[in-house]
Amino acid sequence: MRVLLIEDEPNIIEAINFILSREGYDVVTHANGHDAMDAVRERSPDMIILDVMLPGRSGFEILEDLRADAAYAETPVLMLTARGQTRDRELAEKLGVSMFMTKPFANSEVLDAVRSLTANV
């Protein structure tokens, strides 16, 4: 099961990578917004963890592109944000996010989210 993590903070990447890898997931990472869609096409993940605040392009824009592309319209996307505002959550839901999580999160929460999102894949 391949998980693509798009996040720009190296130590958060390392922590999530570690947690998921321990559970047997194949974790691949990408650290900016500009060419995130290229990374998605190249890696063809089973699910995507997407940060909102990325250099270059926001997670919302990337999510919009994902849902517009038939190949990824159904791919589970877990969105991470440092701003838990209702507005952001609503926007993410409107754009078709599968799950939304605010930072800081507990490791077990991420793991549970990934497990439930990949259960049907």
Binding mask 10-49 for other proteins (x = CB under 8 A): -xx-xxx-xx--x---------------------------
- What is d(CA 80, CA 117) in angstroms, rounded to the nearest whole number? 14
- What is d(CA 26, CA 30) in angstroms, rounded to the nearest whole number? 14
Minimum distance, C-beta of residue 73 to other proteins, in the bound complex (Å): 29
Binding mask 82-111 for other proteins (x = CB under 8 A): xx-------------------xxxxxx-x-
Tell me whether residue 70 or residue 104 sits nearer to other proteins (CB atom): 104
Q: Is 121 in the site for other proteins (CB under 8 A)?
A: no
Give yes or no for a contact between 103 and 49, defined as CB atoms under 8 angstroms apart.
Answer: no
Residue 29 Rama label (left phi>0; alpha psi -120 to 50; beta) = beta
- What is d(CA 76, CA 121) in angstroms, rounded to the nearest whole number? 8
Q: What is the binding site for other proteins (CB under 8 A)?
A: 9, 11-12, 14-16, 18-19, 22, 53, 82-83, 103-108, 110
